Every structure is written in structure tokens, then in C-alpha cells.
């Protein structure tokens, strides 16, 4: 039983480590999205292209980390003899809220969910800015042939001339 407990703690720590990596990368993605917003506002296409390329790499790393997390979670699930086999292991089914280590893992999950929400919000904002930039034509001012003058100015001129 002692060996199984050590295996479970090791797998749990591995899961937490991968979740911390995910949080770090998600923060970089969110920062990248904020920079993209600035590039859209300033209409800096070169910077935006660089940011999109950088984000593609970050998203690739994020996918790898999520796959590693999934494997670690499945390993945790497999180490719990009480749990019946399931199609997909979920954090709530594998960990106990009462365990202190598990509470930290749930806090990491909450951070991931909050970052995910912020990323989607920022992405929507950037898409809206991009839409406006592509579809909004800036009106060009037309030169006026006779500038309109205020009535009071015209009355004062007539009284000073007459």
C-alpha cells in the first residue's frame, strides 16, 4: 500500500507541475493577445504577423502540455482501485476536495479556467477590432467652397462697414 501511495503522490505532483506549465504558457498567450490588440489599433501589420507566428508556437506547446496532463490524470485514475474504468478521467472524479494537495490542484484548475476565459474575451475583442479595421472606411473631409460664417460675425461686419 505504501508503494501505491508514493506512486499516487508522484503522479499527482507531475499533474500539478504540468498544470503550472499550462498556466505559464496561457499567461504568455494572453500577453500576446494584448499585444495583438495594440498592433491592430496602430495598424502595425508586421508586428501582428510576428505575434501570430509566436502564438502558433505557444499554442503548439500548450497542446503538448495538455496531452501530458491528460496522461497524468489517467495515471492517477488508474492508481485508485476504488474507481471503475471510465472513458475520460476528470479531476473531480480522481481527486478529493478534502485532501490538501488536491485543493492546490483544484486552485490550479481554477486559474486555468480564469485564464481561458480572459483569452477568449481578448480574442473576441481582437476579432472585433480586425473586423472594424477591414470594413470601416474612414471618411475623407470635403473642402468647403464657402466657409459658413456665424450670423453674429456677419452682422458685426455689416455694422462696422456702415
Q: So what's the pLDDT on residue 140? A: 66
Q: What is the pTM of this model?
A: 0.76
Closest alpha carbon to 133 in 42, 52, 50: 42
Would residue 17 count as lying in a domain?
A: yes
* Domain count within the chain: 1
For 41-86, the pLDDT digits (tens) are: 999 999 999 999 999 999 999 999 999 999 988 888 887 766 666 6
Would residue 50 count as lying in a domain?
A: yes
For 133-155, the pLDDT digits (tens) are: 888 766 666 666 655 555 555 55
Would residue 104 count as lying in a domain?
A: yes
Would residue 76 count as lying in a domain?
A: yes
Which residue range(s) make up the domain with 11?
A: 2-140
Amino acid at each position: 500500500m505504501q508503494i501505491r501511495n508514493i506512486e499516487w503522490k508522484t503522479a499527482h505532483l507531475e499533474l500539478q507541475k504540468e498544470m503550472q506549465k499550462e498556466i505559464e504558457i496561457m499567461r504568455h498567450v494572453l500577453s500576446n493577445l494584448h499585444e495583438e490588440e495594440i498592433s491592430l489599433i496602430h495598424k502595425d501589420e508586421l508586428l501582428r504577423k510576428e505575434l501570430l507566428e509566436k502564438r502558433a508556437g505557444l499554442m503548439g506547446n500548450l497542446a503538448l502540455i495538455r496531452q501530458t496532463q491528460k496522461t497524468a490524470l489517467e495515471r492517477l485514475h488508474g492508481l485508485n482501485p476504488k474507481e471503475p474504468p471510465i472513458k475520460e478521467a476528470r479531476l473531480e472524479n480522481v481527486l478529493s476536495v478534502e485532501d490538501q494537495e488536491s485543493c492546490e490542484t483544484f486552485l490550479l484548475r481554477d486559474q486555468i479556467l480564469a485564464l481561458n476565459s480572459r483569452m477568449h474575451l481578448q480574442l473576441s475583442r481582437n476579432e472585433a477590432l480586425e473586423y472594424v479595421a477591414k470594413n470601416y472606411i474612414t471618411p475623407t473631409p470635403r473642402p468647403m467652397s464657402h466657409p459658413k460664417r456665424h450670423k453674429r460675425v456677419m452682422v458685426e461686419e455689416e455694422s462696422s462697414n456702415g
